[in-house]
Amino acid sequence: DSGVTQTPKHLITATGQRVTLRCSPRSGDLSVYWYQQSLDQGLQFLIQYYNGEERAKGNILERFSAQQFPDLHSELNLSSLELGDSALYFCASSVGGVEEKLFFGSGTQLSVL
Phi, psi of 58 (to 5 degrees): -110, -135
Q: Is 14 in the site for another protein (CB under 8 A)?
A: no
Q: Which is nearer to another protein, 12 or 43 (CB)?
A: 43
Per-residue contact string for residues 60-99; x = within reach of another protein by CB under 8 A: ------------------------------x-x-x--xxx
Q: Interaction with another protein in 93-112: which residues (CB under 8 A)?
A: 94, 97-107
Q: Which residues sit opposite 100 in a β-bridge?
A: none
Q: Is 36 in the site for another protein (CB under 8 A)?
A: no
Q: Which is nearer to another protein, 20 or 97 (CB)?
A: 97
Tell the smallest beta-carbon distance from residue 90 to another protein (Å): 5
Q: Which is nearer to another protein, 5 or 79 (CB)?
A: 5
